Amino acid sequence: MTGKQRPATFPAPLAAPARASSLRLLLDRLALRWHTRTLRPFRAGADVLDRYVGGAPSLQNAIDLVPGWAGAMPPETGLRAGPQAFHLDTRIDWLLRECFDIRGRTALELGPLEGFHTAMLERFGASEVTAIEANAAAYLRCLITKEALKLHRSSFLLGDFMKWFDGEPRRYDLIVGSGVLYHSDDPVRLLERLAAATDALYLWTHVFDEAAMPAGDKRRLPFSGSVEARRSHRSDVRLHERSYYRSWRNPAFNGGLRDRHFWIDRADLLALLAAMGFDRLLVAHDEPAHRYGPSLSIFAQRTSPGRGSPDTPGEASEAEHGIA
């Protein structure tokens, strides 16, 4: 697996019932052990001395304070974190080199995970980055990454970004959502909020694709079989219901806020973005055989800003569909 991804982990029901029960018990114990180790110094009544670090001051101490890192720190920092080079993600590199010039512009990032994509946005010249993370442990890692990589133009906020849109009328030059859409319990509503807040949008997401993931494909097992039909901007959208099946008990879980979530149909997603006025649609990193399910990168841009909005849907426009 390359780049940042919030895992769409296969659920326990794939195993035999007894084995699945044992696996769930093991995950519960691991989760308890992780939470105990991480939060013990901060619990009420804990020995105040447990909140102190007696070793030589270092950023490594901060990294070690919050275990479970997925991303690696750049080698030049000399710091040890996770195994994956998110700070060199080829998908974000494609976005910022080939699709959108971020220099001197603002960005909103949804689900920064550990802040390494945020660092790339700064490195490519963003004037300001606002990054919103709902996972408390991931948020703490973002703050550590901010300190370790000296991110001076980025701000990290903790909470549900859907509620941020409720009270934030501001628009952004670019919105980045890598690994968030397929975790949403209402991806159509999320796309509507994104379309109202920007004229340039990047998504990396899993999608439902009948041709790439036909009946009998084991990747369909987490899906309930229920399909919701939605209509937005005069565009019909199919949403396929999916569950984590208790995988959120795994301490490494980085999924969404709710167990019930939906993967949007691939063709419907592209059609909806076009109907929202994004007349430049570029597709890259198309992986129909991805281990968790079909995935792709989408860069969507309005070449004539303001041509569409969630409140005043217009006719679906002709779109430029490019394959990078």
Residues 223-278: pLDDT tens digits? 999 999 999 999 999 999 998 665 555 555 565 556 689 999 999 999 999 999 99
In degrees, rounded to 5, the angle at the alpha carbon of residue 82 between the alpha carbons of residues 80 and 88 is 95
15 DSSP assignment: S
59: its two tokens: 């950023």
74: Cβ contacts below 8 Å, ≥ 6 apart: 87, 149
Could you tell me which residues are beta bridge partners of residue 172?
198
pLDDT band at 4 (very low <50, low <70, confident <90, very high): low
Q: What is the enclosing helix (H) or strand (E) of 121? A: helix 116-123
pLDDT given at position 88: 97
171: its two tokens: 């628009």
pLDDT given at position 127: 98
172: its two tokens: 């952004």
Give the span between the Cα atoms of 199 and 171, in whole angstroms.
9
Give the span between the Cα atoms of 241 and 214, in whole angstroms.
16
* Amino acid sitting at position 124: F
C-alpha separations of 246 from 31, 172, 208 in Å? 12, 36, 21
Please answer whether residues 288 and 212 qualify as being in contact, where contact means their C-beta atoms are separated by less than 8 angstroms: yes
CATH superfamily of 64-323: Vaccinia Virus protein VP39 (3.40.50.150)
Q: Which of 253, 126, 264 is nearest to 182 (CA)?
A: 264
Mean pLDDT of the chain: 84
pLDDT given at position 122: 98
In degrees, rounded to 5, the angle at the alpha carbon of residue 148 between the alpha carbons of residues 146 and 152 is 40
Q: Which of 143, 162, 154 is nearest to 121 (CA)?
A: 154
201: its two tokens: 């949008």
pLDDT band at 14 (very low <50, low <70, confident <90, very high): very low
* Amino acid sitting at position 280: R
Question: Worst-scoring range by mean pLDDT, 27-41, 109-123, 227-241, 250-264?
Answer: 27-41
pLDDT band at 284 (very low <50, low <70, confident <90, very high): very high
pLDDT given at position 37: 52
Within a 10 A sphere around the Cβ of 273, how many other Cβ atoms? 26
CATH 3.40.50.150 intervals, the chain? 64-323
140: its two tokens: 């703490």
Displacement of CA 44 from its chain's centroid (Å): 33
pLDDT band at 324 (very low <50, low <70, confident <90, very high): very low
